[in-house]
Amino acid sequence: MEKHNILREFGRNLRAERSRNHYSQHKLAELANLSDYSHVGKIERGEMNPTLTTIVNLMLALDISFDELLDVSKLKEK
């Protein structure tokens, strides 16, 4: 699967989880210790490839596992 598709899928899932928690992009960025809340929007749109540290901080802020952000088995099917 192409990098762009992986980033878009990750971003869609991140947006869904953020919405489930009723967090704004600004609130999630704050909880995940991101220096710029616009990073959340860029990640959600698939425009930014987050670092592993950022991914872990997002998972901790949302209290979810990596599988909830990206189902790798779905990527194999595409």
DSSP class per residue in 8-68: HHHHHHHHHHHHHTT--HHHHHHHTT-S-THHHHHHHTT-----HHHHHHHHHHHT--HHH
**What pLDDT shows up at residue 43?**
97
Inside any domain, residue 78: no
pLDDT tens digits for range 39-75: 999 999 999 999 999 999 999 999 999 998 998 777 7
**What pLDDT shows up at residue 1?**
64
Based on the structure, what is the number of domains in the chain?
1
Model-level pTM?
Answer: 0.89
The backbone region for 33, taken as left when phi is positive above 0, alpha when psi lies in -120 to 50, beta otherwise, is: left
Inside any domain, residue 65: yes
**What pLDDT shows up at residue 72?**
77
Inside any domain, residue 40: yes
Supply the range of the domain harboring residue 51.
Answer: 3-73
